[in-house]
Structure 1
């Protein structure tokens, strides 16, 4: 503090909100010890953000266990003041909290610098003692057998015991009740503790002086501004507006459902707008915390349905945006929790409202379908895992069929179609054909979502001209531009498919120019991923643009790098060893093997730099070793471009050996496969 040219007059000591909190006793001793004025001590709710500039903020609490509450309450204030102007001071600090603080606020000063011993430290308990503590903890407090956040903190004060300590130390039968898996409050296990934990009174901020209508009015006003700012075509101003609205919402500090629901929706949008992996994951940690709060609240059935619906969509969104960096077990666990909650709602609402019940079945089908997809991402899954995945897919199909039987509409047709596709391995099975028929019907009923899915399915079946017609019929009238932007690539690749299958320029030229215009809009909104960029380059080449202009958009894939494009593969290899210089590019999808394969095809089909094409195919193979497509592409390049038929033969053998992992692709492309095989055999 002295190094910053500050003294005690520049301090604001921020203490937790609430009455008779244990931190108050320690704060009183701190004030006497340092000889500080009472005026510099403030409850968290009384700190005015505009008046805190130029001050040193000293956040004082006796104990930090998980660090979650501190991050939730103070991250916005610290970001405003700057973490280099802040201190975290406490008596006891769990390792988990220390790790969270250092990651979230790298420049903040933390006292003490070392964590307080916990049950997890070596040489404190024997293995047998640890097992006994775990067993007792599971019995006394199942949600937190080692204390809140499983911190296992070994600290207690004469006037209070933190709930981050072992529950066998503080649980008394009243303070250890919890919400069970059915969403019901369960009484705590009766126990006589050494140091009972005394839950502090819930703090009521000054915002409660407003009437309920005033609070709702403030929230609705922020919500309207949020809905409006989402339409902003400029990414930078859109992100800035969302940040400002979140700051205003944070200062309301309400705990009711409408407040938390709006906050989690705004944070979900902010995560989509994130420009780095660190920002993306930090926002999603906050989203996860809020959902935990929501699911512990006593809320109405309709509110629970809204929360679970948003939760399922967020979990799916998160797993797709995070790509290969997502923690599969964690996201699967989240979806499993959500589907159980939907099951509870279905039982409550059974036969009372067919439409509502139908929506719940459709939502549960969506959640289970997503779970099955994520389980398939696990490498090395054995027969038991495959049976589990197939069972979940069947459950999803049953739910989708129930939803459709209860209410025949575009939504239920769409979900049933997706579940039928998930339950078949080929595109010409009865289930797949029925699914395509259902999508056609939903599309005819005016569902843009069904139209986009139909475009995708037709494209996969190489029915590109039909796919183009369907997409064009709905694209211009879809007022949800983000939804439209996220599906333009299906149209783009359908146009590219027509180009590869015809020599008639008139059949694709106008559509290729239209796809370029739409992709240009996607990029201008900053809604693009790497797939859109690669498609944009390929379409420009198809339209006859100069190669220098057509390849220029590839530079977008390196927004945080000063290196040239031809070094991108080397940069990607560095990422495997922790170099974060391309974090933004990873968000664009560069951890997706198919993107690298598409870039390889660009070089193979439109340039003479075939060695570069092979380099990008190899990159795709390093990411996904089980995909036969990338070896097939290498075989084509070796045979048709480099005339190295022995290398082509080797790659084709590898591709065929992997066909079990993508049999639908192999079956669809068997003709091209056999033609290449025949060509190679002639030359060897």
Structure 2
């Protein structure tokens, strides 16, 4: 029965690979990934997890970039224009005012220029037919004048949109809020600063809303706790075969992922209690997100490490590789 079940999983994965996964996971690669695991029972459970992996390719990401601009930026801006003008339905007037509002907006990648948020801004501009003038160049948005005086390079801009592809724990967005939004608000508290994302976990988004200084936070796709692999309401283990056991799969992940993430944090210079705390909070994905999600350009570290780990310190073959950030050369 188990063999028949695994054959069905391979068929499902083959269809996913041909239709959604951009042919990135063919059978030889799957077999090599399964060889990371010791027993046939472990391999069967791992294959089940893989069959539930959500991958967003080139086409899907481009469509989501269109949705982000339309649903999270344009529609709210148009609604604001209407409400500020006696609920007008004058299309010509609304379009004229929207063009004016957009010209006073700047889109910025959340993180530095080499990270995924900034990387996707190129496609975001293309897909939505936006002017390059709406995207600040590499010199940033601030002027550093004599002494410690900080000013904005463009004084007529009244809305900054910080953009990212994914929010897992919410930590990065909150950090960027402390570093950037605080400075903008100190110069001019009337400037609106938004944080828009393609994907966000529900808890990550809630953290950004509560703990950051953004005026508006939203995501195109919000992942609730059912996307958390081992949550009590996990969608992955509902109506699954009797021989697939969630607690057994969690035990496997804890066993294999612990040394993988430990090697990442040791490499980053963590040790002692700080190391143990980092390992504990990231064994099943950064922020304990326990996700099964990946994108054409990268796999977030909030996904289970058995999916993406590919570091020299531990021998592990990834199925959807992650390109980790390197902070120290």
TM-score with structure 1 setting the length: 0.25
More strand by share: 2
More helix by share: 1
